[in-house]
Amino acid sequence: MMSNINQKNKLFIVDDDEHICMLLKTVTEEYFYVETYQVATDFLKQKIYDDDIILLDLMMPDVDGIEVMRSLSKMKTKAALILMSGYDLGVLHSALKLAEEYGLNVITDFIKPINLSELALTLQSIKKTNKILYPHKENERSFSEKLNADMAQNLKNLQVQNGENNSSISSIIKAPFVPTKIDICQAIKNHDLVLYFQPQVCIKSRELIGVEALVRWKHKKHGLIFPNDFIPLAEKSGLMAELTQEVISLAIKQSNKWKKQHFSCQISVNISAQNITSLDLPEHLSKLVAINEVDPAMLKLEMTETALMTKLTTSLDILTRLRLKGFQLSIDDFGTGYSSLALLHRVPFTELKIDQSFVMTMLENTESRAIVETCIMLGHNLNMEVIAEGVESKEIWDLLEGMGCDNAQGYYLAKPLSASALEQWVTVFSELIAV
């Protein structure tokens, strides 16, 4: 049964935190009839229609989000399901897989604090696939802009009402910002992109061996913007080659600064499919490192299997020349593609990076553990160093050490840091290791 087209669509918010329920209701109730539930069993007593939307938190007392999904599956509802969690990425990943197995209509997921821009775009997507939600015809961009603007105004009004609670509100929901292609072009042109660095540590020696450069957008009005908010648009708009060149340039300049400070640290940079099909990339990078007086071995280029398969012959040409010029190559997210062994055989990689989806779940998942162990053995047999990303705990670190993994990267060691914060972290980390 579908709801009347003259009514707002019903949005269920299921979260045991009353404050979060109130905030999400305030910023969405203009577009939806909103009901909030702090107790999951109360929510499950309601009539749920196929055109309803459910914002479901996984971590709740008594009946948790997984149990709610099981009940929804028994109802055979096609309601749009959006999962929320501030607990653990591995748990969220497993919940998404489980929801698919249950046949639920999972739209997306959110890590808390929730980003209103992403939420608005998600609601827009639901509008596109379910016309009955919004019977008035609007173009996609005008809808997105209006929804974001109205949500922002609702949030602003709420902040005024709460006065002294403004800081706590901001910590739960970020101000919305949906960039355009022109915005990203200007950010690259005006050099508004900055790099953060996540440490990579040798498991055996406990020494810093490198960092992965992760891009952020330092917006004059909206502050620090994370890659999930602009990288997908850059990919769709054909701007990834230009954006990646800016990131590589920043990484090489940073390497030069560290060299002058007598701080030796290899920097890993992710390169896109567009970069790997540019035949002049090896010469371009060689000129950059020469101008900045940086050893090319201090720059490691990470690429995924999927990116390599775009134009394999051209990619092999470019990557072989990069190795000849002294640059290091890493295959990223290893094990998630469909031609890993063939690529390892053909491409001169120096490092194999085990995907975090296996690393983060290997304590409780024997299959994940077997995959990680196999990757380590395979990498070593092919004379490559092996690094595991997604190292979130000491238990994972210890297991990797027992398996003979070379290096580790993850929140157990450090989150991505600014250049100055990284320099401070190195000092503190060295002192801890020495104790």
Tokens of residue 323, six digits: 């190795």
Confidence of residue 428 (pLDDT cuts 50, 70, 90): confident
Confidence of residue 92 (pLDDT cuts 50, 70, 90): confident
Burial tier of 252 (Cβ tally within 10 Å: 0-12, 13-18, 19+): buried
Confidence of residue 45 (pLDDT cuts 50, 70, 90): very high
Confidence of residue 193 (pLDDT cuts 50, 70, 90): very high
- Confirm whether pTM is higher than 0.75: no
* CB-based contact 108:130 (threshold 8 Å): no
Q: Burial letters for 97-130: b for 16+ Cβ neighbours within 10 Å, e otherwise?
A: eebeebebbbbebbbbebbbbbbbbbbbebbeeb
Extended strands (E) in 189-289: 193-202, 208-219, 223-225, 266-270
Q: pLDDT tens digits for 390-407?
A: 999 999 999 999 999 999
Half-sphere exposure of 232 (CA within 13 A, CB side): 7
Q: pLDDT tens digits for 133-181?
A: 333 334 434 444 555 555 555 555 655 555 544 444 444 445 467 889 9
Least confident stretch, 125-139, 197-211, 382-396: 125-139
Alpha carbon distance 330, 289 (integer Å): 19
Write phi, then psi, for 275 (nearest 5 degrees).
-70, -40
| CA distances to 184, 333, 353 from 357, in Å | 30, 9, 12
**What residue type is assigned to position 348 of the chain?**
P
> Is CATH 3.20.20.450 the right assignment for the domain spanning 181-434?
yes
Q: pLDDT tens digits for 12-28?
A: 999 998 888 888 888 77
For CA atoms 309, 312, 316, 322, the dihedral sign is: negative
Model confidence at 373: pLDDT above 50: yes
**pLDDT at residue 370 in the model:** 95
The packing angle between helices 18-28 and 116-129, to 10°, is 60
**pLDDT at residue 337 in the model:** 58
> Is CATH 1.10.287.130 the right assignment for the domain spanning 9-172?
no
Q: Is the peptide bond before 113 cis (omega within 30 degrees of 0)?
A: yes
* CB-based contact 215:156 (threshold 8 Å): no
Confidence of residue 336 (pLDDT cuts 50, 70, 90): low
Domain ranges, ordered by start, for the chain: 9-172, 181-434
